[in-house]
Structures are given as C-alpha cells and as structure tokens.
C-alpha cells in the first residue's frame, strides 16, 4: 500500500481556475480550422502558476541542492557556464535541416569534440551520434557484428560479460542479437582471467567490461585480458561510463580496447538521469572506423562538411547530429578544464571516494566486501546490519532522505548483498563528505523501528515499491482515485 505521509500540495488542476471564454473568430480564416472553444486546461493567473511550479521544484532534490552520491551515475555539480553556452541562440535557434555551409560553427565544434575525445581515450575515431550510454553500447554491438561479418566470421554470436557489469551491457548485447555469457568475478571482485580464457572461443564476438568496474576497482590485468580476447579473434569493448575515475591517468585505447563508449552526461557536464537528453559517443580503433555511422564530419581547407560516402558504414543510429546541447556542454567543459584540469577531476573523485570509504569502514558500522584500493566509487554491504538488527540497505537509504541527503545506489552491483554503492564525485567538499559519513554512522545506530518507517521529513513517505510497480499510476486522475480510496 502507498503511504502518502504528508502529501498536501494541490495539483495544478485543483487550483481555482478562471472561466475561459469562447474566442471571437478571426476574419479571413475559415471558421472550421479555428479553435474557438477553449482547450480544457486550467486557466490560472501567472503568479499562481509560477509559485505552484516553483514550490514543486523545491520539493525535489538535484545536483544543485546537495551531495548526490548515486554510485555509477556520477551525479556531480555541473558548471553553469556550460548550460549557458548550450542555450546561446546562435546554437539553439539553428535548424537541423540547414545546409552544412550555414552551420560551420556547430560542425567545427563537433569535429573538435571528436578530436578531444580521441585524445582523452586514446582511440582512433569517434562518432557523436548515440543519445545515451546504452545507445552507444548498442552501436558498439552493431559495429562488432559489422566487423565480424566483414571478415566473413559469421559464427561469432557470443558476448562475454562479467557479473559486475551494468545491466545495460547484457541488454544491449542481447538487443543486437548476441547470446550473453556471464562470467563470475574472482574473490577480489575483478575479472577471473583463467575463467575468461576458458570461456573464449571461436564463437566469441566480444568481451564487454568497464574499468574501473562497478565495485570501483581497477582491473589490473587489463593488458592480459586484451591479449587473450584478441588472440581468440574477439573484440574488447569498454563501457566508459566510469571514465570519471581515470581522466588524464589511463586511456582505454592504451589498454587495448577496440570500442569505447563515453557517457558525456556523467563525466562531461550534463546531469545524468532526470529524463533529459544524454550522449554516449563511441570511439573505435583504426580497423573499425569504416563501419561508424554516417554522416562523418570532415574538414577540408578550414571548411567542414558531412561525408555520406562510407559504403561499409552501419548506417545512421540517430537522426540529425546527436544531442547538440549535451555536446556543447561537453565541449565547453573540456576546453575550460584542459587536460590537467580533467586529470585533477579524477584525482579528487578518487580521493573523495577513498576518504569516505576509510572513515565509514573505520566506524565499523558497515562491511566492505572487497578490500582493494578504490577508484571513484565503493560498495558497502549492510548484510551484517540486516542479520544483527534487521536493518536493510533500503532502510538506510530512506532514512538518509530525512537528513536532507540523497541516497546512494542500492542493491547494485548484484554480487554484493544489501549493497550501498557510493560515488561522491570530485565536486563535494570535505565538509559535505563528513556530513554524509556522520549521517551514515548515526543512522546505523538508530532504532530499527524508526528506520523501517523512514522517511518522515519528505513530501511522500515510504512507498511500497512492489505495489507501485504492479499498480502503475500514470495520470493525476488515477492518482486522485487511488488517494480517495485510502
């Protein structure tokens, strides 16, 4: 059952609405194509509307509100200058159907962004088309297929993925028509190279991993992994959603990866999540470049143009240019930070994660299942808290909301029981990290009954998530009906 603890905000439909009069017909336009009857939406004065939505926004929590250590999602503060530049009308008023000769600035930006991503990742070429990480993964899988088909190697139907992988990895491989083979990690939480070698065969199309993995641990054996994957005739795919950990320190191209996706909407200054546009560019090695989506952007004598003449291209994966606003933000961010700035970003992200990890582990309230040094994130387990006090990861996460803090990712990666996955990012101060650490410690010592009913200070109390997924309420009318039955 839902428990809407303190829900008292009227819906926009419930605010007093003014009567809307029929419109007087406009002379010269046929009556039948004019809308004379008012549309059935509330007619409310501007100040009320502004206040209503402003208040709703204040009930929300975002990266501008406070720390948001949602592991794997890299929810960091994004400099406002990036947002401002993306909104400049020189960019936002362009039409995607304009002739290339009239959008030289945008093409230059895209060309240079591709070059910068090449430099950052050590790959040979990039496409900016994919609209999200998972979309990039799908493209990566399509490129994998094109590559093997081009070599008449049509038996390669398997994609091997470690059990620490993000859920989108097996989903993308499966959507592209591959069989997914999951391999368990070793006791250190990294790829079991012996097992990988056994699993590789002439049916393997690709091995897909993220490095550092979702436990925040860097795969030290990556060069050996690359060698054995290539010896088996397969490709090595890098899920670069965790690139925030290694900017300026290590490059997937140098580790031997053939295909890489980046999440510009995590590492490069667009907030992740919230349903906004994303961008998951794909980088490839020299051999795979010919399969990249068309059009490619090329530069000739300081002019830029689209090139469609790529017979081996897999075709288009997204209409027009990709998500331009996200590309503009990434471009601005990279230019502003410079190579040294990006490296410092990762250094602080790693420092912050390890600082938090050490203090929380020293408090002895939570378990740390894998002991190695972490990169940008770490995963705690509440298994002991559950056994000893019946406190679950979900209870801790809900109670953090009462402290005015966003919860970490919970129950992921799947190989950690009662997981709390924390990624503080580089944009949080020591004071904010300490506040979060103190809250986690305090909560672990609280009365279990109190935790079971948390949160208390949010507009909506504890939601029965199973009920919510099985009884979807997608319109305000259904919502009202549900409320009136309570």
Ligand X SMILES: Cc1ncc(COP(=O)(O)O)c(C=O)c1O
Interface residues with ligand X (CB under 6 A) are 72-73, 132-134, 166, 168, 210, 214, 239, 241-242, 263, 278, 280
Structure token pair of residue 151: 């070599």
Give the nearest distance from C-beta 194 to ligand X in angstroms.
24
Question: Which CB atom, from 239 or from 289, has the smaller least distance to ligand X?
Answer: 239
In the complex with ligand X, which residue's Cβ is closer, 200 or 421?
421
Q: In sequence order, what are the residues at sequence separation of 6 or more whose Cβ sits closer than 8 angstroms to the Cβ of residue 312?
A: 146, 150, 290, 291
What is the rounded CA–CA span in Å between residue 22 and residue 315? Answer: 50
Q: How far is the CB of 277 from ligand X (least distance, A)?
A: 10
In the complex with ligand X, the residue whose CB is nearer, 297 or 326, is 326
Pairwise CA distance, residues 334 & 244, whole Å: 13
Whole-Å CA distances, 482 to 10, 74, 189, 402: 15, 35, 45, 26
| Pick 145 or 266: Cβ nearer ligand X | 266
Q: Judged by CB, which is closer to ligand X: 272, or 296?
A: 272
**Which CB, 117 or 232, lies closer to ligand X?**
117
Residue 214 Cβ vs ligand X, minimum distance, rounded to whole Å:
6
Minimum distance, C-beta of residue 437 to ligand X, in the bound complex (Å): 23
- Cβ 1 to ligand X, closest distance in Å? 31
Structure tokens at 393: 């990861």
Collapsing DSSP to helix, strand or coil, 418 comes out as coil
Residue (165 or 444) nearer to ligand X, CB: 165
Nearer to ligand X, 73 or 297 (CB): 73
Which residue, 169 or 437, has its beta carbon nearer to ligand X? 169
Shortest Å distance, C-beta 259 to ligand X: 14
Nearest to 418 by CA among 369, 443, 388, 381: 381
Q: How far is the CB of 64 from ligand X (least distance, A)?
A: 20
Whichever of 107 and 419 has its CB closer to ligand X, that residue is 419
Q: How far is the CB of 205 from ligand X (least distance, A)?
A: 19
Shortest CB 247 distance to ligand X, Å: 15
265 or 296: CB nearest ligand X: 265
Q: State the Cα angle at 353 between 349 and 356, rounded to 5°.
A: 140
Residue 221 CA to its chain's centroid (Å): 26
What minimum distance in Å lies between the beta carbon of 241 and ligand X?
Answer: 3
> What secondary structure does DSSP assign to 366-400, as a single string?
SB-SS-SPPSS-EEEE-HHHHHHH---HHHHHHHH
Q: Are 211 and 218 in contact (CB under 8 A)?
A: yes
Cα end-to-end span (Å), the chain: 9
Which residues have CB under 8 Å from 21's CB, separation 6+?
Answer: 38
Residue nearest to ligand X (CB): 133
Structure-token match 């004065």, residue found = 45
Q: Are 376 and 425 in contact (CB under 8 A)?
A: yes
Of 127, 152, 151, 158, the C-alpha closest to 140 is 127
DSSP label of 11 = P
For residue 95, the minimal CB distance to ligand X (Å) is: 26
d(CA 415, CA 483): 38
- CB-based contacts of 283, cutoff 8 Å, min separation 6: 117, 118, 121, 123, 124, 125, 126, 252, 253, 259, 260, 261, 262
């Amino acid at each position: 059952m839902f428990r809407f603890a303190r829900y008292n905000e009227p819906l926009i439909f419930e605010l007093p609405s003014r009567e809307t009069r029929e419109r007087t017909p406009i002379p010269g336009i046929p009556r039948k194509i004019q809308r004379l009857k008012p549309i059935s939406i509330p007619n409310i004065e501007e100040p009320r509307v502004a206040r209503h939505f402003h208040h709703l926004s204040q009930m929300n929590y975002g990266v501008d509100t406070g720390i948001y250590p949602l592991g794997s999602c890299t929810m960091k503060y994004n400099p406002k200058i990036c947002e401002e530049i993306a909104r400049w009308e020189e960019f936002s008023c362009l039409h995607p159907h304009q002739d290339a000769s009239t959008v030289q600035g945008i093409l230059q930006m895209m060309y240079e962004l591709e070059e910068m991503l090449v430099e950052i990742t050590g790959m040979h070429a990039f496409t900016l088309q994919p609209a999200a990480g998972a979309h990039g993964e799908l493209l990566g899988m399509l490129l994998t297929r094109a590559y093997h088909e081009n070599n008449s190697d049509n038996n390669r139907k398997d994609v091997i993925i470690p059990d620490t992988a993000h859920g989108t990895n097996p989903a993308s491989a499966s959507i592209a028509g591959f069989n997914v083979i999951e391999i368990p990690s070793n006791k250190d939480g990294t790829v079991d190279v012996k097992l990988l070698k056994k699993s590789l065969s002439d049916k393997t199309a690709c091995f897909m991993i993220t490095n550092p993995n979702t436990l925040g641990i860097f795969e030290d054996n990556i060069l050996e992994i690359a060698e054995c994957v290539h010896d088996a005739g397969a490709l090595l795919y890098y899920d670069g959603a965790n690139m925030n950990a290694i900017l300026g320190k290590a490059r997937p191209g140098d580790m031997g990866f053939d295909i890489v996706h980046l999440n510009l909407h995590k590492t490069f200054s667009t907030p992740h999540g919230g349903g906004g546009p994303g961008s998951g560019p794909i980088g490839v090695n020299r051999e795979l470049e010919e399969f990249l989506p068309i059009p490619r952007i090329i530069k000739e004598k300081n002019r830029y143009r689209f090139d469609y003449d790529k017979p081996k291209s897999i075709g288009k994966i997204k209409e027009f240019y990709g998500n331009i606003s996200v590309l503009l933000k990434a471009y601005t961010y990279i230019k502003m930070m410079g190579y040294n700035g990006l490296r410092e970003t990762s250094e602080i992200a790693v420092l912050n994660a390890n600082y938090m990890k050490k203090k929380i582990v020293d408090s002895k309230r939570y378990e740390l299942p894998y002991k190695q040094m972490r990169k940008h994130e770490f995963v705690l387990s509440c298994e002991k808290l559950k056994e000893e006090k019946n406190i679950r990861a979900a209870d801790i996460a809900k109670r953090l909301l009462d402290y005015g803090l966003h919860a970490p990712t919970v129950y992921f990666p799947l190989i950690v029981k009662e997981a709390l996955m924390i990624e503080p990012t580089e944009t949080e101060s020591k004071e904010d990290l300490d506040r979060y650490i103190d809250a986690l410690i305090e909560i672990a010592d609280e009365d279990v009954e109190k935790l079971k009913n948390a949160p208390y200070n949010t507009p909506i109390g504890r939601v029965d998530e199973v009920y919510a997924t099985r009884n979807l309420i997608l319109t305000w009318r259904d919502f009202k009906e549900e409320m009136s039955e309570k």
